[in-house]
């Protein structure tokens, strides 16, 4: 049988080169194909199928991040003013971290995850990935392997970190989307939603990792391309962060066997979705296989049985071995790879993205011990090759050479992309929209899919396995309230803590992605600070999911967003430690129309605190306590939830004010540490009124609020209640601590707006005029009315 | 003497670390041991005083929760386990461990299987804090606990179901029921207080001599007052919870 196919590119013209790329699902463009042809011309032969696949995978958007590394000519138009400059997106992001240069950021942008220092002995690793395309095709498997994959990132960071938390953020089409409008080949949002939730639940729960932070967003434009973000946090000894492959180390694969699942996952993940995509691109997961090797791996790490490790994710062995051997070279014998079943072609073995596999570099003298050690808990470990100083990636299958390419060409040969992006700033104008019935609008916002309780989903995740979860997703009375973030106690012996939260709001990007970036960064930090976090000890991760970036305007939006990330991260003095992008999330309809997702930025944050006993939750604690708003309210209702439920377009998008807010947050941190602040909840989606209602639900208490006291220049009830201005928190203070509180917050923007009452109702005043009275029961019912 | 605790690990065990911590904190010498180590005779069950089958998804809960491990115990470890029981040593099954003890028949009477833990009435996995009524029971490990305690449950298959009323009545008559789901005031009510639809709200039982315990709730996740979901509101004085006392009582039993 002929296992290896030679592909004639030496005699191919441009048209044929593109045909080759398309026919083999390589997702390579003409410049890249020409570069490959040039290389093979120089060595005087045609590539094998395996070589071409290997290059396509290494050069894929998913693995190489071509767009983020590209040289982009960017034009920004603001009225008559035109700015023009060249930009590299990855540089922009990395510059933040370089400029801030914090000593506690100990491994950034180089390994599978970013690592920050918790104490002298341990670091925390955090990574967030997306698994969008697979989840759109096969929600259960796609989401499950998404979480499985990001857990492996954590297991493969440094010499291996112990996963202690998963996070999940989803964007779906509306659950009540009309079936008749659904294009052929697209699954209904409800089907995707249920599949994704079950997939994450079954994988995360079986891995014994709590899933305790996340968000769910709904919008029409996610019908065709859902977004599934999966994150994982791990702890790692600081002396296990460095890894190095040595010449002569054996290549050992551990965990699951290799099958035909997930082939072309890397190249497919950055292509647009259309009909007739082969199902073999989706991987098949089995959490128990991953759990088994996780248990042994971390012990093997501490026994120093291997020199380096990486996960086998997108691109399979080709990516893992190619990456590990990129400074040396490697020889692989594919016939040694344990297979799920016979019949795989060599390139399929090399490229397969079968799950639950890791690749280790093991010194020859330790290999027997390592294999036996894994075997003792029924984990397969197999030598499949060797890292050798050849400068080549050489692959054999049954003595036949199937791949022999220059490592330098593989990793450095990709032509730099030259792209163009264009952004035109919209003139933001306030909309004059009056509520017809304030009470009804409040309930409408509370029951909107984005604001309303996700309890039914979150309960299905084990959020406290491990016994480390201190502030849980649910807080307060009967655990009804919602938390701003999760607080973990990573070590059983100490009270040190980690706070994890996120910020996401794709709607602001419709007006200006620059401010969306600022708002997302700030929301994430605000959430962490509300829980008791220190604003000077927070690191963040960026995940960009974008639409059709071959469109200059879409790319322009992305650039504008990256600029926002850089500027605001620097202003808040918060470093990026890791990031990822998933581009081309668009759907080509039969009529040729392209439907892109709204450009979506997820900011995930991790904060370090000294003492988990000194934290804060969002639920009102006691009647008689005084309620304050910290921060100032502006007319910033553009893309707000209030406008969304009333179908109003336009308006002014919230603009963060880093200087003011940073100073405020430092004081909130002190106020919580000194237990001066009894409850704290940030204002974000749904505005001040949503924040107050959520605090009531958690506390099972009512409150009396005079909204005319809210600090603002806009004396309109709609703005005061629903504006989503940044930099605001609602806090609860005991009467006897008022002086101390006011002293701490001297010179800050604060307004005393009301008090917590025993009667279970929200009574709203404007000066002396009573505006509304809403029973807590009705608030709770509206907030929990979303039917999953 | 510090009792030695064997925390049994298999593929899919999850709650081994926090269980080990809870026992160590209570003053025991706790050790995680993989089932293969016992099968290969590298470790002996008889060297320990307490055997714990912790929470998790043993073997992925394939077939039914805990079923595969229950069979493995019956077929591969039975001699050792039977000796362990006859020597009046202690066995604890938490969550998945309770499912194993039920499906192997060790609970309630060490006979053939008489009880099971069926799928939750809600039809899915749920994690929530519950109130538990400590019943008058024969086990020495629930002595000195308040009448109502709190812990989280986190399972998909936790509905206590006896084979028939005869079994149920006998367990009750023998005072083998240790914990029942209840509301804040101690009333035995329905969902969500009874999170899975357990018959007569049964959350945990013990053997006739009280030395073998099986329970769905997770005491090892409720050790410190900071584990309580509302610790910021209820300013509890005690640093350690009543559920921690269960671990202390087990350690005390051997010292």
Q: Which pLDDT band, with edges at 50, 70 and 90, does A322 fall under?
A: very high
Asked whether the beta carbons of residue A465 and residue B221 sit closer than 8 angstroms, the reply is yes
Active site residue B218: yes
Contact, B229 vs B129, CB < 8 A? yes
DSSP letter string over A718-748?
HHHHH---SS-EEEEE-GGGHHHHHHHTTTS
Q: What does the pLDDT look like over A377-427, one tens digit per residue?
A: 999 999 999 999 999 999 999 999 999 999 999 999 999 999 999 999 989
Q: What CA–CA distance (Å, rounded) separates A485 from A498?
A: 10
**Above 70 in pLDDT, residue A279?**
no
B18 to chain A, closest Cα gap in Å: 6
The answer to whether the pTM exceeds 0.90 is yes
Asked whether the beta carbons of residue A475 and residue B230 sit closer than 8 angstroms, the reply is yes
Q: What CA–CA distance (Å, rounded) separates A136 from A186?
A: 8
Residues of chain B with C-beta less than 8 angstroms from the C-beta of A492:
17-18, 21
Q: What does the pLDDT look like over B12-67, one tens digit per residue?
A: 999 999 999 999 999 999 999 999 999 999 999 999 999 999 999 999 999 999 99
User: What's the DSSP call for residue B240?
Assistant: B
**Above 90 in pLDDT, residue A283?**
no
Please tell me the predicted confidence (pLDDT) of residue A137. 87
Residue A752, H or E segment: strand A750-757
Helices (H), A236-304: 265-268, 287-302
Residues of chain A with C-beta less than 8 angstroms from the C-beta of B55:
465
User: CA triplet A594, A595, A597: central angle to 5 degrees?
Assistant: 140
Please tell me the predicted confidence (pLDDT) of residue A1. 59
Residues of chain A with C-beta less than 8 angstroms from the C-beta of B34:
376-377
Q: Which of B61, B124, B218 has its CB closest to that of A460?
A: B124
**Above 90 in pLDDT, residue A486?**
yes
The CATH code of the domain that includes B244 is 3.40.50.880
B232 to chain A, closest Cα gap in Å: 7
User: What's the DSSP call for residue A46?
Assistant: P
Please tell me the predicted confidence (pLDDT) of residue A788. 74
**Above 70 in pLDDT, residue A524?**
yes
Mean pLDDT of chain A: 94
Backbone angles phi, psi at A735, to 5 degrees: -55, -45
Residue B215, H or E segment: strand B212-215
Does the beta carbon of A203 lie under 8 angstroms from any beta carbon of chain B? no
Residues A11-38 have a mean pLDDT of 93
Q: Which pLDDT band, with edges at 50, 70 and 90, does A262 fall under?
A: confident
Interface test with B, best of A492, A611, A679, A700 (most B CBs within 10 A): A492
Active site residue A65: no
The alpha-carbon radius of gyration of chain B (Å, integer) is 17
Please tell me the predicted confidence (pLDDT) of residue A270. 59
Does the beta carbon of A292 lie under 8 angstroms from any beta carbon of chain B? yes
Residues of chain A with C-beta less than 8 angstroms from the C-beta of B17:
466-467, 492
Q: Which pLDDT band, with edges at 50, 70 and 90, does A269 fall under?
A: low
Active site residue A133: no
Residues A201-226 have a mean pLDDT of 95
Q: Which pLDDT band, with edges at 50, 70 and 90, does A592 fall under?
A: confident
Contact, A631 vs A522, CB < 8 A? no
A127 to chain B, closest Cα gap in Å: 22
| Structural domains in chain A plus CATH codes | 103-409 (3.90.650.10), 616-788 (3.90.650.10)
Please tell me the predicted confidence (pLDDT) of residue A275. 59
Asked whether the beta carbons of residue A460 and residue B127 sit closer than 8 angstroms, the reply is yes
Residues of chain B with pLDDT under 70: none
Q: What CA–CA distance (Å, rounded) separates A310 from A315?
A: 12
Does the beta carbon of A636 lie under 8 angstroms from any beta carbon of chain B? no
Minimum CA–CA partner of A531 in chain B:
B232
DSSP letter string over A317-369?
HHHHHHHHTTTS-EEEEGGGS-BSSS---HHHHHH---SSEEEEEE-GGGHHH
Please tell me the predicted confidence (pLDDT) of residue A24. 86
Q: What CA–CA distance (Å, rounded) separates A727 from A155?
A: 36
Q: What CA–CA distance (Å, rounded) separates A108 from A100?
A: 12
Residues A597-607 have a mean pLDDT of 98
Q: The tokens of B248 are what?
A: 């202390």
B208 to chain A, closest Cα gap in Å: 30
ipTM: 0.96
3 state DSSP class of A205: helix
Please tell me the predicted confidence (pLDDT) of residue A266. 64
Asked whether the beta carbons of residue B232 and residue A615 sit closer than 8 angstroms, the reply is yes
What is the tally of structural domains in chain B?
1
Nearest to A63, CA basis, from A99, A95, A27, A29: A27
Minimum CA–CA partner of B57 in chain A:
A206
Please tell me the predicted confidence (pLDDT) of residue A103. 97
Residues of chain A with C-beta less than 8 angstroms from the C-beta of B223:
467
Residues A85-101 have a mean pLDDT of 96
Tokens 């390994």 belong to which residue? A111
Please tell me the predicted confidence (pLDDT) of residue A276. 59
Please tell me the predicted confidence (pLDDT) of residue A271. 64
Q: The tokens of A431 are what?
A: 């909309």
Contact, A115 vs A154, CB < 8 A? no
Contact, A312 vs A298, CB < 8 A? no
Q: What CA–CA distance (Å, rounded) separates B109 from B131?
A: 27
Please tell me the predicted confidence (pLDDT) of residue A284. 77
Q: Which of A288, A466, A470 has its CB closest to that of B17?
A: A466
Residues A361-365 have a mean pLDDT of 98
**Above 80 in pLDDT, residue A268?**
no
**Above 90 in pLDDT, residue A558?**
yes
**Above 80 in pLDDT, residue A519?**
yes
Kindly provide the residue ranges of all beta strands, DSSP E only, lying in A416-550, ordered along the sequence. Answer: 418-424, 469-471, 474-475, 481-482, 486-488, 497-504, 538-545
Cis bond before residue B108 (omega within 30° of 0): yes
Cα within 13 Å of Cα(A101), Cβ side: 2
Q: What CA–CA distance (Å, rounded) separates B171 from B162?
A: 10
Q: What is the 3-state secondary structure (H, E, C) of B45-103?
A: HHHCCEEEECCECHHHHCCCCCHHHHHHHHHHCHHHHHHHHHCCCEEEEECHHHHHHHH
Residues of chain B with C-beta less than 8 angstroms from the C-beta of A467:
15, 17-18, 21-22, 220-221, 223, 227
Q: What CA–CA distance (Å, rounded) separates B106 from B193?
A: 28
B167 to chain A, closest Cα gap in Å: 32
Of all residues in chain A, the percent with pLDDT exceeding 90 is: 90
Residues A2-31 have a mean pLDDT of 91
Cα within 13 Å of Cα(A677), Cβ side: 30
**Above 80 in pLDDT, residue A577?**
yes
Residues of chain A with C-beta less than 8 angstroms from the C-beta of B57:
205-206, 208, 287-288
Please tell me the predicted confidence (pLDDT) of residue A264. 75
Nearest to B218, CA basis, from B153, B171, B165, B121: B153
Q: Which residues of B touch A (CB under 8 A)?
A: 9, 11-15, 17-18, 21-22, 34, 36-37, 40, 55-57, 59-61, 124-129, 152, 154, 218, 220-221, 223, 226-227, 229-230, 232-233
Residues A22-26 have a mean pLDDT of 87
Q: What CA–CA distance (Å, rounded) separates A27 from A18?
A: 9
Nearest to A449, CA basis, from A18, A73, A788: A788
* Domain around B153: 4-253
User: What's the DSSP call for residue A156?
Assistant: T
């Amino acid at each position: 049988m002929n296992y290896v196919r030679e592909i004639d590119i030496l005699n191919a013209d441009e048209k044929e080169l593109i045909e080759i790329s398309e026919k083999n699902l390589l997702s390579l463009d003409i410049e890249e194909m020409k570069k490959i042809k040039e290389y093979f011309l120089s060595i005087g032969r045609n590539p094998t199928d395996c070589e071409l696949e290997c290059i396509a995978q290494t050069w894929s958007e998913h693995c190489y991040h071509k767009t983020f590394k590209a040289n982009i000519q960017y034009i920004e138009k603001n009225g008559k003013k035109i700015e023009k400059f060249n930009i590299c997106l990855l540089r922009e992001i990395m510059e933040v971290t370089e400029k801030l240069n914090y000593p506690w950021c100990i491994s950034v942008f180089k390994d599978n995850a970013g690592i920050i220092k918790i104490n002298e002995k341990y670091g925390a690793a955090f990574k967030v990935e997306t698994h969008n395309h697979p989840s759109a095709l096969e929600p259960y498997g796609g989401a499950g392997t998404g979480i499985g994959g990001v857990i492996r990132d954590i297991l493969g960071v440094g010499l291996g970190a112990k996963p202690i938390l998963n996070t999940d953020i989803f964007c779906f089409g509306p659950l009540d989307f009309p079936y008749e409008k659904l294009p052929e080949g697209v699954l209904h949002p409800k089907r995707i939603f249920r599949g994704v939730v079950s997939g994450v639940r079954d994988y995360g729960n079986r891995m014994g990792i709590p899933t305790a932070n996340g968000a769910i967003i709904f919008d029409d434009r996610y019908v065709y391309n859902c977004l599934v973000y999966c994150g994982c946090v791990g702890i790692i000894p600081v002396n296990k962060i460095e890894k190095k492959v040595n010449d002569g180390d054996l290549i050992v694969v551990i965990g699951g066997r290799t099958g035909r699942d997930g082939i072309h996952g890397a190249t497919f993940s950055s292509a647009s979705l259309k009909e007739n995509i082969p199902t073999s691109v989706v991987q098949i997961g089995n959490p128990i296989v991953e759990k088994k090797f996780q248990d042994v791996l971390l012990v093997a790490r501490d026994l120093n049985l291997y020199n380096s490790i990486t996960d086998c994710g997108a691109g399979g062995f080709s990516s893992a071995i190619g990456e590990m051997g990129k400074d040396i070279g490697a020889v692989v014998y594919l016939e040694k790879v344990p297979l799920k079943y016979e019949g795989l072609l060599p390139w399929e073995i090399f490229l397969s993205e079968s799950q639950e596999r890791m690749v280790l570099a093991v010194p020859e003298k330790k290999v027997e011990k390592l294999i036996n050690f894994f075997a003792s808990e029924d984990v397969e470990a197999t030598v499949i090759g060797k890292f050798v100083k050849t400068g080549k990636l050489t692959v054999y299958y049954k003595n036949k050479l199937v791949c022999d390419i220059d490592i330098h060409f593989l990793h450095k040969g990709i032509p730099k992309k030259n792209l163009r992006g264009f952004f035109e700033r919209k003139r933001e104008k306030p909309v004059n929209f009056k509520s017809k019935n304030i009470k009804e609008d409040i309930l409408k916002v509370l029951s909107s899919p984005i604001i309303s309780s996700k309890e039914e989903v979150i309960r299905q995740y084990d959020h406290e396995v491990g016994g480390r979860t201190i502030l849980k997703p649910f807080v307060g009375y009967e655990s009804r309230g919602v938390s701003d973030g999760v607080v973990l106690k990573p070590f059983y012996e100490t009270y040190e803590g980690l706070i994890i939260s996120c910020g996401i709001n794709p709607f602001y990007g419709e007006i200006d992605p620059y401010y969306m970036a600022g708002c997302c960064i700030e929301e994430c930090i605000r959430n962490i600070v509300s829980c008791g976090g220190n604003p000077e000890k927070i690191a963040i991760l960026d995940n960009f999911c974008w639409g059709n970036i071959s469109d200059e305007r879409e790319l322009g939006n992305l650039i504008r967003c990256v600029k926002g990330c850089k500027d605001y991260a620097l202003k808040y003095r918060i470093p990026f430690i890791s990031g990822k992008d998933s581009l081309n999330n668009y759907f080509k309809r039969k009529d040729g129309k392209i439907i892109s997702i709204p450009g979506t930025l997820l900011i995930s944050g991790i904060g370090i605190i000294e003492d988990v006993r000194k934290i804060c939750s969002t639920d009102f604690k006691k009647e008689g306590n005084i309620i304050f708003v910290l921060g100032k309210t502006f007319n910033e209702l553009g893309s707000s939830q209030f406008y969304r439920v009333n179908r109003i377009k336009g308006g002014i998008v919230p603009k963060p004010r880093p200087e003011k807010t940073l100073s405020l947050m430092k004081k909130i941190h002190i106020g919580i540490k000194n237990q001066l602040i009894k409850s704290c909840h940030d204002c974000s989606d749904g505005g001040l009124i949503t924040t107050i209602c959520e605090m009531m639900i958690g506390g099972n208490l009512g409150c009396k609020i005079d909204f005319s006291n809210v600090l603002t220049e806009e004396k309109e009830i709609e703005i005061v209640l629903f504006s989503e201005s940044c930099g605001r928190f609602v806090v609860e203070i005991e009467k006897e601590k008022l002086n101390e509180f006011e002293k701490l917050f001297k010179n800050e923007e604060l307004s005393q707006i009301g008090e917590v009452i025993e009667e279970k109702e929200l009574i709203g005043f404007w000066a002396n005029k009573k505006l509304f009275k809403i029973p807590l029961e009705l608030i709770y019912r509206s907030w929990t009315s979303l039917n999953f | 003497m510090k009792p030695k605790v064997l925390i049994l690990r298999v593929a899919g065990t999850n709650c081994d670390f926090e269980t080990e911590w809870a026992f160590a904190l209570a003053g025991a010498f706790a050790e995680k041991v993989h089932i293969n180590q016992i099968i290969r005779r590298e470790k002996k069950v008889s060297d320990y005083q307490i055997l714990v089958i912790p929470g998790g998804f043993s073997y992925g809960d394939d077939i039914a929760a805990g079923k595969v491990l229950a069979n493995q115990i019956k077929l591969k470890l039975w001699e050792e386990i039977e000796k362990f029981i006859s020597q009046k040593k202690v066995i604890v099954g938490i969550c998945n461990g309770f499912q194993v003890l039920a499906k192997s028949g060790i609970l309630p009477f060490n006979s053939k299987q008489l009880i099971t833990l069926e799928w939750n009435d809600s039809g899915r996995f749920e994690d929530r804090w519950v109130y538990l009524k400590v019943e008058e029971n024969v086990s020495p490990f629930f002595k000195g606990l308040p009448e109502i305690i709190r812990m989280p449950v986190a399972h998909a298959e936790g509905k206590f179901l006896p084979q028939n009323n005869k079994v149920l009545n006998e367990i009750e008559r023998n005072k083998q029921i240790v914990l029942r789901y209840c509301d804040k005031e101690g009333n035995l009510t329905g969902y969500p207080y009874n999170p899975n639809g357990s018959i007569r709200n049964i959350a945990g039982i013990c053997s006739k001599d009280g030395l073998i315990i099986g329970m769905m709730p997770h005491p090892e996740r409720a050790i410190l007052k900071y584990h309580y979901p509302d610790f910021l509101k209820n300013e509890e004085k005690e640093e350690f919870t009543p559920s921690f006392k269960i671990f202390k009582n087990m350690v005390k039993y051997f010292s």
